[in-house]
Amino acid sequence: MKVIVDTSVWSLALRRHAGGESAETRILRGLVLDRKVQMLGPIRQEILSGVRSTAYFRELRDRLASFPDLSLTTEDYVKAAEFFNACRSKGIQGSNTDFLLCSVSARTAMPIFTTDKDFSVYAGHLPIRLFSQGD
């Protein structure tokens, strides 16, 4: 089973840590080694956006190239809008990218690996599953 890895986890893993490696980074390393990481184009864009150094941008782009994007469908975007509207009607706010991840997760039954607590709220209202270490 593949796992959709959210930008929040990638960001932790790609930072230089003076105090050691986070648990999420260790888990991500295992998923990478087991070839279970599923990349989505919007996540790739978020990871690469804001990188100030052209050299680091190229290095990061090249490192991420080994993770092919899952093709997104028109229905993914439509379902993301439905999820956005459903959550908003309950007073739950989220980004378009978050709801797109939820849509793809619902369609593919892939869990989402994230540190973003908003996804726990979404999971209470949407047919998604969050990744846990037992998966």
Domains: count for the chain: 1
Catalogue the E-assigned strands of the chain: 3-5, 37-38, 112-113
Task: Look up the domain containing 57 and give its range.
Answer: 1-135
What pLDDT was estimated at residue 21? 84
CATH number at residue 11: 3.40.50.1010
- Distant-in-sequence, close-in-space partners of 32: CB < 8 Å, separation ≥ 6: none
Per-position pLDDT tens, the chain of length 135 = 999 999 999 999 987 665 678 899 999 999 999 999 999 999 999 999 989 999 999 999 999 999 999 999 999 999 999 999 999 999 999 999 999 999 999 999 999 999 999 999 999 999 999 999 766
